Amino acid sequence: MSEMTYREALRSTLRREMQRDDSVVLLGEEIGVFEGSYKITSGLLAEFGETRVRDTPIAEEGFIGAGIGMAMLGMRPVVEVMTINFTLLAIDQIVNHAAKIYAMFGGQVAVPMVIRTPGGGGQQLAATHSQNLEVWYAHVPGLKVVAPSNPADAKALLTASIRDDDPVLFLENLALYNTKGEVPDGEQVGEIGKAAVAKPGTDVTVVSYSRATLIALEVARQFEKQGVSVEVVDLRSLRPLDRETVCASVRKTSRAVVLEDDWLTYGVGAELAATIQEGAFDYLDAPVRRVAAAEIPLPYAKPLENAALPTADDLTKVINEVLDATRFTG
C-alpha cells in the first residue's frame, strides 16, 4: 500500500500500462509539452517520447475519431479530453462509431480505446464547462462508462479499461484529482461493472459514484455519530451497472437515496430508482429519493452555483426526510 492522490494513481497507471504494452498510445490536447491541463500526464512525454504521448490540435472530433481507427487496427489509444463538455464535439464519433463498429460489422473488429475525461461543476466555470453528461454515454449500448471515486479504484479500473477490448469512457472529476487514498502496490486489474459497498450500514442506503461518493461517505460518518447507520454504495461503473449490489443493499436497509451530480430528470438516479422498485419493491419502507443538480444551465455567480449543485447538507436533509417518513427511531 502507498498513499497517493487520484492524480498520481492515474499517472502511475498510465505509465505502467505504457511500459507493459507498446500499443498503448496517449492522445490529447496539451498532454505532452504542457503536461496536461490537470497534470495527469506530467513526465510521460519525457519518458516515452512524442509518438507515445501525442499532442493534438484542438480537434476533438478528429482525434477521438482517430483513436477509434487506431483501435480498429489493434492499438490501445488512451485519449484525454480536457473536460467531458468537449467530448460533445465528438459525440458522433463516440456514439455512432466507437459504440457501433463491433456490433454493426458482425463482431469482426473491436474498438479497444479509452476516453479519459473529467466532469464536474463547482469551480465557477459556468454553464458550458461544468456539466455532468456521463449519463448520455451510459445510455448507449456498446460503450462502457467507468467512474471511480478514489485512487485505488482509479488505478484498478484504469488498468482494466485500457486492457478492455471495448470502448470505455473513463470519467474523472476536477474535484477528485487532489484527493488522497491508500493504493495497493503492484498490478491491480479491477472488474468493470462491479459496485462497492464503500461503507456498510443497516438503516439507509445512499447510492452514488465519482465525486458524490466522497460526499456520501462524509454524510454517512456524521449520521453514524447520531446512531444512524448509513450504507454507501459506490457504483464505480455506470455501464455496466451493478444492479444486484444496489438492490441487495436496499433489501437490507429498506431505504434508498441517490446522490448524483448530474441533472435529476432522466439522470443516473432515475435508472437506479427504477431498478430498486423492481428489485427491492417489497422491502422499501419509503419512496426512493434523489439528490441531484438543479435543472438549469449552471450559472457562474457563486451563490447561484452553490444553490444549484447538490451538497452534503442537501443529502443530510433528504436522508432525514426519509427517516422521518418511516418513523425511524434508531
Q: Which one among 20, 39, 221, 317 touches another protein, defined by CB under 8 A?
A: 317
Q: Contact between 89 and ligand TPP (CB under 6 A)?
A: yes
Q: Residue 43 phi/psi, 5° resolution?
A: 90, -15
Burial of residue 73, with CB atoms counted within 10 A of its CB: 0-12 exposed, 13-18 middle, 19 or more buried: exposed
Per-residue binder mask for ligand TPP (CB under 6 A), 18-37, x = binder: -----------x--------
SS3 230: strand
SS3 244: helix
CB closer to ligand TPP out of 83 and 213: 83
Backbone conformation region of residue 77, classed left if phi is above 0, alpha if psi is from -120 to 50, else beta: beta
CB of 128 to another protein, least distance (A): 5
Among another protein, ligand TPP, none, the one that 317 touches (CB under a kind-dependent 5 to 8 A) is another protein
Cα first-last separation, the chain: 37
Whether 139 is catalytic: no
Cα separation, 279 vs 286, in Å, equals: 14
Q: Contact region for ligand TPP (CB under 6 A) — 11-19, 81-89, 179-187, 297-305?
A: 81-89
CB of 88 to ligand TPP, least distance (A): 8
- Of 29, 60, 271, 305, catalytic: 60
CB of 27 to another protein, least distance (A): 14
Cα separation, 150 vs 158, in Å, equals: 12
Whether 60 is catalytic: yes
CB closer to ligand TPP out of 86 and 328: 86
- Of 17, 129, 260, 271, catalytic: 129
- Cβ within 8 Å of residue 272, ≥6 positions away: 207, 246, 256, 258, 288
Q: Give the DSSP H or E segment for 103.
A: helix 101-104
Binders of another protein among 9-68, rule CB under 8 A?
Answer: 29-30, 33-34, 37, 55, 57-62
Closest CA to 323 of 223, 199, 245, 249: 223
User: Could you count the other beta carbons within 10 Å of the beta carbon of residue 182?
Assistant: 11
Q: Which residue type is seen at 201?
A: G
Active site amino acids: 60, 129
Which residues of the chain form contacts with another protein (CB under 8 A)? Answer: 29-30, 33-34, 37, 55, 57-62, 85-86, 89, 123-129, 254, 264-265, 282-283, 285, 289-297, 299-304, 307-311, 314-315, 317-318, 326
Which residues of the chain form contacts with ligand TPP (CB under 6 A)? Answer: 29, 58, 60, 82, 86, 89
